[in-house]
Amino acid sequence: MVNTPDWVKHAVFYQIFPDRFARQGGAHLPLGISLKPWGSCPGEQGFQGGDLLGVCERLDYLQNLGINAIYLNPIFSSACNHRYHTYDYFAVDPLLGGDQALRQLLDEAHARDMKVILDGVFNHASRGFWAFHHILENGTDSPYIDWFEIEDWPLRPYHSDDDNPPNYKAWWGLPALPKFNINNTGVRQYIFSVAEYWLEFGIDGWRLDVPGEIDDDLFWREFRQRVKAINPEAYICGEIWERATHWLQGDMFDATMNYEFCSLALSYFGHHSLRTDYKKNALPLEPLTTEEFIEGVGNMLGAMPKDINDVQFNLLGSHDMARPLWIVHEDISALQQAMLFQMTMPGAPCLYYGDEISMTGEDDPHCRGAYPWHQPDLADKRMLAYVREIIHLRHQVPALRTGEVEFDTDLPPEVLGYQRTLDDQQVQVLINRGSEAQTIRLADAEQWTLLFGGAERLLPHGRELWVNLPARHQVVLLRTTPPMSLAKAV
């Protein structure tokens, strides 16, 4: 039986990379520390000082944008700016403000009816993690020796001049990231206790980092049981780049990060400007025809039950890939059309911080630049207004969140059309990605109301409504009275 959190169906997420979103600074910072200047070139090393109190100060901005859920990249104590190298799972990093800063963020977010989910890195720890440090100090005499998979001695916890790999299981062979021995009972209980502790603290769910590396269904089933026992509405979202049918049977995850959605959307709307030489994990990027795109989206949606599709984590960008604007060669129109598609399809859309103001950048670390609060002229205000409008459109129209989907198949080759239908509410979306204007006819002219796009594009023609779509333009219309007719080309 599939049972997913209802609130996620109505959520618009905003992903925050804590070191780079907003810096409050202040008394919570340890004395005598050295931070890189805010807005300096992002690197694999170095901290720019973003913190959770800075996020608190920007909650009004996020709420005005239409955001009602926040996904935070890791926030626990770590010696790396992305904090995927965890050394204390029960403490918020002091540079982020510590536990009290998270308490304040949760309280202020919840007062605004905003949810907050955390990033759970449970496949591996860091070499500074207390149990691994115990092994480094005590060798074979450490009681925690079976918490990791040690191959021989002495341990090699750092890269060496002779390029010898670490002699213990490590994520991607990186000595800084020793892999937990998930078969150890103590390890399993430790991870479960971490998940439970922060849910009781008040978080609203977990995004799970590389959960496919923990190839143990029994572990994830118990993880789900423990999580849902504390909060049945907690969201469990796994980072699985491929189609994840196996994980989405109702007994492990509620959803996955939907990189398939990302690949399809950027490949279709960015077809003229796509950087096809950009290769990233399971993120194929090849120009698609409208027919190929409709087939791909149909296959994606058809692979999952509706309750899963409605809570899938639909993203166009993240900390693990180049910025979507960079991928489409700074083609603003292409990204805007992809965003409209994102906001009008089943699933919970997620904005990566700064995409709403046209931040750009290659693969990490360049996709992890500081939000330019200090240089407001760098923010694309037209893009910001556009994103705000389409997010509020999603919130205003229930059919865009939980309605059925049907694609039009008899439109001009460069026009994408589809309907979202819920009860007596039908929404028609028309997107012209091409370089030539098109005219589309809709039956029952008097029943349509323009929701998004220019009213000058609508021309009543007898009982039909003619929709004039200039090149690279889009409209969204609402009809509240059946019968429901598909769009047709003139």
Over the stretch 368-385, which tens digit does the pLDDT of each residue have? Answer: 999 999 999 999 999 999
What was the pLDDT predicted at 487?
Answer: 55
What was the pLDDT predicted at 454?
Answer: 83
CB-hemisphere CA count at 13 Å for 238? Answer: 27
209 is catalytic: yes
Q: Where in the chain is the domain with CATH 3.20.20.80?
A: 6-123+182-396
Q: Where in the chain is the domain with CATH 2.60.40.1180?
A: 403-489
293-342 pLDDT, tens per residue?
Answer: 999 999 999 999 999 999 999 999 999 999 999 999 999 999 999 999 99
Catalytic residue among 93, 239, 254, 355: 239
Beta bridge partners of residue 120, listed in sequence order: 208
CA atoms of 221 and 213, how far apart (whole Å): 15
What was the pLDDT predicted at 281?
Answer: 75
Catalytic residue among 209, 260, 408, 414: 209
What was the pLDDT predicted at 489?
Answer: 52
As its CATH architecture, domain 6-123+182-396 has Alpha-Beta Barrel (3.20)
Q: Which of 56, 74, 75 is nearest to 114 (CA)?
A: 56
CATH placement of domain 403-489: 2.60.40.1180
Q: Which two tokens stand for residue 135?
A: 């092994």
408 is catalytic: no
pTM, to two decimals: 0.96
Across the range 107-123, mean pLDDT stands at 99
CB environment 335-345: b (16+ within 10 A), e (fewer): bbbbbbbbbbb
Q: What number of residues does the chain have?
A: 490
With 0-12 CB in 10 A as exposed, 13-18 as middle and 19+ as buried, what is 196?
Answer: middle
DSSP codes of every residue in 60-124? HHHHHHT--EEEEPP-EEESSTT--SEEEEEEE-GGGTHHHHHHHHHHHHHHTT-EEEEEE--SB
Whether 161 has a pLDDT exceeding 80, the answer reads no
402-424 pLDDT, tens per residue?
Answer: 999 999 999 999 999 999 999 99
Band (pLDDT 50/70/90 cuts) for residue 483 is very low
Beta bridge partners of residue 206, listed in sequence order: 118, 236
Q: Which residue has the higher pLDDT, 161 or 265?
A: 265
